[in-house]
């Protein structure tokens, strides 16, 4: 599909595909778990909607107000975990790092916010299973997407 397209440096054809045509973007109305990862400093967030059958991820969608890296990682991650069990999904975090290769400090935070939102959705499901009246579960990010320039430059060396 992208045979005649000059790839941006360091971007794989798979990542470009997910950037141009994100998968699983949107909302699941009757989700079993809804999780939000929030970067309070920038206001960036990722919302994860999971539909589970026992430990199987039957359906998953995400939404974000984040950058293109967040969209690409969210799209790739949801594709990897859909149809697999939650144990596989937790291990998929490592697998997606392998697929993406060396990430800049900012890209690493983008990946972390996606994974954190997924964990928050599982926590929401667990809380509801225990009887909690919780619409969604929010986890605040320790690291911000707003990376100081000198830290970014040191990471690239």
Q: In this predicted structure, what is the pLDDT of residue 142?
A: 87
Kind of pairing between the strands at 137-140 and 56-64 = unpaired
Structural domain of 108: 13-142
Listed residue (31, 69, 72, 67) closest to 48, CA to CA:
31
Both tokens assigned to 132? 């909690």
pLDDT of residue 98: 75
Looking up residue 48, the CATH number of its domain turns out to be 3.90.1010.10
Task: Give the contacts of 16 (CB within 8 A, at least 6 positions apart).
Answer: 2, 5, 7, 8
pLDDT at 129: 96
Its sign, for the CA torsion 76, 88, 62, 52, is: positive
Instruction: Give me the pLDDT at residue 151, please.
Output: 46
In-domain check, residue 3: no
Q: Is residue 138 part of a domain?
A: yes
Domains held by the chain: number = 1
pTM for the predicted model, two decimal places: 0.84
Task: Give the pLDDT confidence score for residue 140 in this predicted structure.
Answer: 95
Residue 50 lies in a domain: yes
Q: What is the DSSP letter of 40?
A: T
Task: Please report the pLDDT score of residue 156 as a whole number.
Answer: 47
Q: What is the pLDDT of residue 157?
A: 46
Residues of the chain where predicted confidence (pLDDT) is lower than 50: 1-2, 150-157
40 in a structural domain: yes
What is the spatial distance between Cα 109 and Cα 151, in angstroms, rounded to a whole number?
A: 13
User: Which pair of tokens denotes residue 145?
Assistant: 């997407």
In a domain, residue 78? The reply is yes
Question: Is 1 contained in some domain?
Answer: no
38 and 18 in contact (C-beta within 8 Å)? no
Tens of pLDDT, residue by residue over 24-41, are: 999 999 999 999 999 999
Domain assignment present for residue 132? The answer is yes
Q: Are 57 and 84 in contact (CB under 8 A)?
A: yes
* Residues found in the chain: 157
DSSP code for 138? E
pLDDT at 44: 93
Whether residue 157 is contained in a domain is answered as: no
């Amino acid at each position: 599909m992208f045979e005649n397209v000059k790839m941006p440096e360091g971007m794989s054809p798979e990542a470009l595909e997910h950037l141009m045509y994100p998968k699983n973007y949107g909302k699941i109305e009757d989700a079993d778990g809804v999780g939000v990862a929030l970067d309070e400093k920038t206001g960036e967030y990722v919302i994860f909607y999971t539909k589970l059958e026992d430990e199987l991820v039957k359906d998953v969608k995400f939404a974000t107000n984040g950058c293109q890296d967040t969209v690409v990682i969210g799209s790739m991650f949801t594709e990897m975990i859909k149809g697999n069990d939650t144990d596989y999904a937790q291990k998929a975090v490592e697998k997606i790092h392998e697929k993406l290769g060396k990430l800049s400090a900012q890209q690493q935070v983008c990946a972390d916010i996606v994974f954190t939102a997924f964990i928050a959705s599982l926590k929401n499901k667990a809380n509801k299973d225990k009887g909690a009246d919780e619409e969604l579960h929010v986890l605040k990010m320790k690291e911000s997407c707003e990376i100081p320039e000198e830290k970014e430059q040191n990471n690239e060396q």
